[in-house]
Structure 1
Amino acid sequence: MLSRRHVLAGASALVLAGIGGNASAAPAAFTVTTPMAAPEWALLQRELLRANEQACEAFFARYFDERGYLLAFERWGANDGPDDAIENVNDWPTLHALGAGDRVLELAQKAFEGNIRQYTAARTKDVPFARDGMYYKEFPVMSDWQHLSEGLSVFNLLGLSAPNDPRFRERAKRFSGFYTGEDPSTPNYDPKLNIIRSMITGSRGPMLRKATPLDWAGDPFDVTHFYMEHGERSYEETLAHYDEYGDVVGDSPLNLQATSLVMNAYMLDHEARYRDWILKYVDGWIERARANGDVIPSKVGLDGQVPKGRWWSGTYGWGFSPVVPQSGHREDRNRVPRAVVGFMNAYLLTGDDKYLDVWRRQNDVINGQKKVLDGKVSTPRMYGPKGWYGYAPGEYQLNGLEIWYLSMKASDRARAASHPWLDWLDGKDPSFPAKALRGDLERVQARAKAQRDDASTPDTRLADAALDINPASVTALIQLMEGGIHIARPPWSKSSPAQGGALHYARLRYFDPERRRAGVPPDVAALVETLTDDETVVSLVNLSPTAARMVTVQGGAYGEHQILGAAIGEGAVQAVDASAFTVRLAPGSGARLTLKMKRHANQPTLSFPWDRAG
């Protein structure tokens, strides 16, 4: 059986051609000339990129019109509102940034522009704050950050491929102003108390009253014509779903997801005010957790204080277990674990372990409540007036893999859940790359078939009707090409909460210096084989038998990692000392590179390597 280190056959030649401090298009830092037979994983990788492109184009043609409007029944609502509409092209910006064709990015941008126009024009009759448009200033008028972040899943990643798009740059800064206090007409943030003033916020400001079921469910409609995600059989059941969703005034950990939006603004030009706001806001939550026995509270009042004896309260909080109207049973809906992205963003800015340690300490507290139930060690997921509840079998490991991915500490790995990708990185399963890529290829094909078989019409589709057949499949590509994790819906691991709007987390990214765009060039494939705190092993191959290819390799999704040096095989390390460098791959050649790295040494940036120094 092939070992992980022998997935690529044959020796490789790597010629140093002069390395400077900048990642530039020419001259190449390294030249690879050794012939290499096309590895199975490389052929599958290129096929997966191609299949994604074709399936996404067919999906867009079926479910969007020439304006980029979603062909569906327009509604305001947490179940099926504007956020769901744009989620139909989730992962398309990432797909392009990996190396898919430019058409994928064009369609994602078209859908985003169409979404803004479509839902600015769409209006409610009964929901009071959306009667003049569901969007105002090109942003949702009022919603919670579970749904706001889902609606930003596309926007927050457009900068990976188009950081110089004037529309993206202007919006990233203007939208951020809704939450940093810079827009006085949108007073979502209280700078004195360092709180976001409500769980429901947006371009028309915070909701400072009890939310009603109507606010959440949207205007009345006949549900019998549509597929209902939660199984509601009538509009009355849709309203009843939100009967207990009223406690929204004051800050919530879900609001930490706003930091991903502000991160985009910061990564454009490194304006200190955005970085300062993110760190100040996240630090406030660290202080609250420390004062609350190392558990992040789910409720902060308008006075900036955690309610005495009710730290667990609030919609989507530790004690949030509303009744399901169809069954009459309570369902646990604690969304606090989704707040981890705020701490990950702060870590991306600083590399400061305190942003991870708050989650370690919280997990320790929860695991300290373990008990044996039905013969199995179980731990709680919820907390209410009677203490901890919502026990599930096993240790509490939520977000453990994310903590390990950032820290690269053996102690964090020991606390985290298992995962097949980690087995590959450990050299335990050399078949993983082919299996994972084939699995995502099958997913693309199955979803393309589901689209062809779909008999629905625009007047029988809600905005979320086609979400589960969006063909874009990028998880295996992110893991194998970039050594990254895919924080999205559905979650990439069993211990990761499903969520939208997260930034891109990767050990490496690639750029095409000849076409001046993000993603690997045509015919090029990449396989990350090893990740440690200070080292990355990656294999690069050019499948073209006739054309040389140039590829720029960047440390981190946003250039946050410094590449100190590179070596071929067991050879000597050649100095690089830059956030990116360029490799020229001769036709039909390939090589395994061992990169020495200093992680989180640079401020993250959206700029392409040739547009920055170092």
Structure 2
Amino acid sequence: MRVDRRAFLGGAAALALPAQAKAAKASLSLDKPMAAPDWARMQRQLLDANAVACETFYAAYVDRRDRLKVFERWGANDGPDDAAEATNDWYLLHALGGSDRIRTLAARFWEGHLRQFAAARTTDVPIARAGMYFREFPVQMDWQHNAEGLTSFNLMGLSSPRDPALLARTRRYADFYTGRDSTAPNYDPDRRIIRSLLNGSRGPMLRQATPLDWAGDPFDPTPFHMEHGETSYQQTLDHYAEYGDVVGDNPLNLQATTLGLNAYALGGGERFRTWALDYLAAWAERAAKNGGLLPSRVRSDGKVGDDWWQGVYGWGFSPIVPQTGMREDRNRVPRSITAFMGALLMSGDMAYIDLWRRQTARINDAARTIDGTLSAPTMHDAQGWYGWKPGPYRTNGFEIWYMSQRADDRAAAGDDPWIAFLEGRNGDYPVQALTADLARVAQRVTAREQDDTTPQTRLADWPIGINPASVKSLVQLMTGGLHIARPPWSKTSPPQGGVPLHCRLRYFDPVARRAGVPADVGALVHRLADRETEVTMVNLGRQARTVTIQGGAYAEHRIDGVMVDGRNMAVGGRDITLRLEPGCGARLVLAMTRYANRPTLAFPWDR
């Protein structure tokens, strides 16, 4: 190992230096031979397999105008948000080290689908008669679906932070919610609320919603795969029969703060961060006044009443399923934890996670023994708690532990094979996880080859299940991060779309001037702790490679020092650059201070 620093210290002394004393960029060279690990070869194989499969998927489901070949509809079941999800995880693949072609196709599709659904119109649904998109954004929908539709968009900055069009678009989208754009008066800055559950580029819905608003124009569903199993248009309407209570704020709207985070991190200005944190703080204050529980309904005057549990997708939302006549619990409040994770990223303040720990404790305080089994509630209405499930309430436990890294949060995270690996109890996990993702790519390729649907018999949500991009193992193993997506990423996590990347490490190729590991390079995060990260870096190739390691997706974590082969080097910055000689590698222990820096998407060489 060679280093280019004058101060090369032994023991822990280097890690104790103040950050301002270590402002210079750190770099070192790794020249110790390492046998090629199976996991490293499989990472490269998975990146390549994804690239090939995504290219053939694009040819099958996207036309020459870069538009999705589907039956176009408006609605929460199968609307424009589902179309936007057709290339989910392609930007993430590129940011990890996937081919530039992946990013090119994903960018083309985003532009094509914007044109497609700006031109698509409804006949009966009033808000979309002039286009399902206006100013390149959904005209009016809830933030479960808005967020899902922004899954790719919210990750574009990982690979293209200097794109002026991306910055302009992100600022425009964010200003639909900051109160700056008078044509979309979604936000009330005095009351610190988004004024309706249904909102978008044409503003908020300030009346009772109808099933038509949610379900879209009449159509015959029989030729299509229907996600909820409807066999008639009437059943589609009936699915939304109890979805009328939309006026006032709803915790799902907190997902809009991701636009503020990205606008700030792309260099759009401090006001976006200020707005996002102020809006999140307003919700934290409401939870504190509501006995530690995040309300699911905030009235138009900004106040929380005795009906705090009401609202569509709220604590007491259990509508009837038309196919069965039975009620189904659809509490989506837990999904909003990802917005508070973003607040921690923007502020460094763990109080945003403490809120969720207190809420969990409050729910568990209501636990009771049912048929001899301790059970906790998941729902609440005018009669009190209901929706009892065996065991303690652990929803969001994985996220709370991941963000806090506190030992007393560990139990609520549940039993997960990735955590077991990080704790040294599941050494086979890297190969098993990569094998599973390689199999998933192959399965999706087979599904595409056997798909007999046509553009006239497939809805916009159909290609999502065939999209071959498979990145969960890469995100976990390479970055020590969460692949927040649908389906859920852990047993205690709700599904969620449109969430920024939360990870411990990111990688860049300073030679190619792009995001992701260079060719031939593999990375494996072995251990996560509050103040340390252990990662193995290896070069499988026959030529030297240079890679920059950054603390966090947004450079939010400070790397204080690095230990290699028992020797310590001070770093004190957002990143460190390694030169990996051919066939060489090493296991690094990075001393870190998490959430020490303001978030930025700028590449290391541009800041």
TM-score, normalised to structure 2, is 0.96
User: Which amino acid in 2 is paired with 1:577?
Assistant: G
Work out the CA distance in 2 between the residues paired with 1:150 and 1:438.
27
Given that residues 217 and 242 in structure 1 are in contact (C-alpha distance below 8 angstroms), is that contact kept between their aligned partners in structure 2? Answer: yes
Quote the residue 1:207 is aligned against: 205
Q: Distance in 1 between matches of 2:350 and 2:602?
A: 26
Rounded Cα–Cα distance in structure 2 between residues aligned with 1:339 and 1:520:
32
1:221-232 equivalences in 2 (<5 Å): 221-232=219-230
What displacement does 1:136 show? Answer: 0.4
In 2: Cα distance, 1:87 partner to 1:416 partner: 28
Q: Would the aligned equivalents of 1:22 and 1:610 in 2 still touch at CA under 8 Å?
A: no
Quote the residue 2:334 is aligned against. Answer: 337
2:3 pairs, out of 6, 11, 16, with: 16
- Residue 151 of structure 2 aligns to a residue whose secondary structure is coil
Letter in 2 for 1:301: R
The aligned amino acid for 1:519 is: G
> Distance between the aligned counterparts of 2:419 and 2:575, measured in 1?
25
Q: What's the CA shift for 1:184? A: 1.2
Q: Aligned partners of 1:459 and 1:600: how far apart in 2?
A: 49
Structure 2 match to 1:356: 353
* 2:73 match: 75
Q: CA deviation at 1:73?
A: 0.2
Residue of structure 2 equivalent to 1:558: 554
Displacement of 1:415: 2.9
**Residue 556 of structure 1: how far off its partner (Å):** 0.6
Cα deviation per residue 1:255-289 (whole Å; 9 max; x = unaligned)? 00001111110101162211111111111111111
For residues 342 and 487 of structure 1, the distance between their equivalents in structure 2, rounded to whole angstroms, comes to 12
Matches of 2:43 and 2:456, distance apart in 1? 38
1:224-247 deviations in whole A, cap 9, x for unaligned? 111100000000100000000000
Give the aligned partner of residue 5 of structure 1. none
What does residue 18 of structure 2 align with?
Answer: none
Name the CA distance, whole Å, in 1 between partners of 2:413 and 2:389.
16
Which of 577, 586, 611 pairs up with 2:572? 577
1:594 corresponds in structure 2 to: 589
Looking at structure 1, the residues matched to 60 and 103 of structure 2 have their Cα atoms a distance apart, in angstroms, of: 17
CA displacement 1:18-56 (0-9 Å, x = unmatched): 387355xxxx81111111111011111111111111111
The corresponding residue for 1:294 is 292
Could you tell me which residue of structure 2 aligns to residue 10 of structure 1? none
Partner of 2:411: 414
- Structure 2 distance, partners of 1:21, 1:351, is 20
SS in 2 for 1:126: coil
Any residues of structure 2 matched to 1:380-419 within 5 Å, and which? Answer: 380-419=377-416
Give the superposition deviation at 1:92. 0.8
- The amino acid that maps onto 2:472 is T
Aligned match of 2:540: 543
Query: In the aligned structure 1, how far is the partner of 2:576 from the partner of 2:171?
Result: 30
Q: Distance in 2 between matches of 1:222 and 1:415?
A: 45
Q: What displacement does 1:374 show?
A: 3.5
Q: What one-letter code is carried by the residue in structure 2 that aligns with 1:600?
A: Y
2:441 aligned residue (419, 441, 444): 444
Deviation track 1:118-169 (CA, whole Å, cap 9, x = no partner) reads: 0000000000010000000110000000000001001000010011112211
User: SS in structure 2 opposite 1:323?
Assistant: coil
State the Cα deviation string for residues 401-433 of structure 1 (Å, max 9, x = none): 111111111111133212111110110111111
Identity across aligned pairs (percent)? 58
- Secondary structure of residue in 2 paired with 1:461: coil
The TM-score with structure 1 as length reference comes to 0.95
Distance 1:364 1:568, change over 3 A: same
Contact 1:129 1:141 in 2 (8 A): yes
Q: Which amino acid aligns with 1:150?
A: E
The answer (yes or no) to whether the contact 1:22–1:580 under 8 Å persists in 2 is no
Residues 1:611 and 2:606 are matched in the alignment: yes
Question: Secondary structure at the residue paired with 1:525?
Answer: strand
Q: Which residue of 2 aligns with 1:116?
A: 114
User: Which residue in 1 is equivalent to 2:85?
Assistant: 87
Aligned to 2:474: 477
Query: What is residue 430 of structure 1 aligned with on the other side?
Result: 427
Superimposed CA distance per residue, residues 379-415 of structure 1 (whole angstroms, 9 cap, x where no aligned partner): 1111011111111112111111111111111111133
Asked if 1:513 is matched to 2:491, the reply is no
Tell me the equivalent position of 1:177.
175
Of 192, 210, 224 in structure 2, the residue corresponding to residue 194 of structure 1 is 192
Partner secondary structure for residue 67 of structure 2: coil
Tell me, yes or no, if the aligned pair for 2:502 and 2:552 is still in contact at 8 Å: yes
Q: Which residue of 1 aligns with 2:13?
A: none
- Structure 1, residues 94-139: CA drift from partner, whole Å, max 9, x if none? 1110001001111111111011100000000000010000000110
Structure 2 residue runs without a partner (length 5+):
7-21
Within 1, Cα distance between the matches of 2:428 and 2:526?
12
What letter is aligned with 2:568?
V
| Letter of the 1:16 counterpart | V
Deviations 1:319-359 (A, max 9, x none): 00000000000000000001111111111112212101111
Deviations 1:482-540 (A, max 9, x none): 00011111111011110100000000000000100000000000000111111111000
1:153/1:502 contact within 8 Å kept: yes
CA distance in 2, matches of 1:305, 1:406: 30
Cα distance between partner residues in 1 of 2:164 and 2:266: 11
Question: CA 1:270 to 1:177, structure 2 compared with 1: closer, same or farther past 3 Å?
Answer: closer
Question: d(CA) in 2 for partners of 1:491 and 1:607?
Answer: 30
Return the letter of the residue paired with 2:282. Answer: G
Q: Aligned match of 2:256 in 258, 274, 288?
A: 258
Q: Tell me if structure 2 keeps the 8 A contact 1:22–1:581.
A: no
Q: Structure 2: how far apart are the matches of 1:376 and 1:609?
A: 53
1:6 is aligned to none
Deviation at residue 581 of structure 1 after TM alignment: 1.4
What is the alpha-carbon distance in structure 1 between the residues aligned to residue 211 and residue 449 of structure 2?
Answer: 36
Q: 2:456 aligns with which of 454, 459, 463?
A: 459
8 Å Cα contact 2:171-2:268 kept in structure 1: no
- SS of the aligned residue for 1:509 comes to strand
Which one-letter code corresponds to 1:551 in the other structure? V
Paired residues for 1:485-496 under 5 Å: 485-496=482-493
Residue pair 1:22, 1:609 contacting (<8 A) in 2 also: no
Partner secondary structure for residue 374 of structure 2: strand
Partner residue in 2 for 1:248: 246
User: Within the alignment, does 1:141 sit opposite 2:136 as a pair?
Assistant: no
Letter in 2 for 1:244: E
Contact 2:250 2:296 in 1 (8 A): yes
SS at match of 1:526: strand
CA distance in 2, matches of 1:373, 1:63: 50
CA contact 2:167–2:268 (8 Å) conserved in 1: no
The code of the aligned residue for 2:261 comes to: M
Task: Compute the displacement of 1:371 (Å).
Answer: 1.9
Secondary structure of 2:460's match? Answer: coil
Root-mean-square deviation over aligned CA pairs: 1.1
- What is the CA–CA distance in structure 2 between the aligned matches of 1:521 and 1:597, rounded to whole Å? 24
Aligned-partner Cα distance in 1 for 2:576–2:499:
27
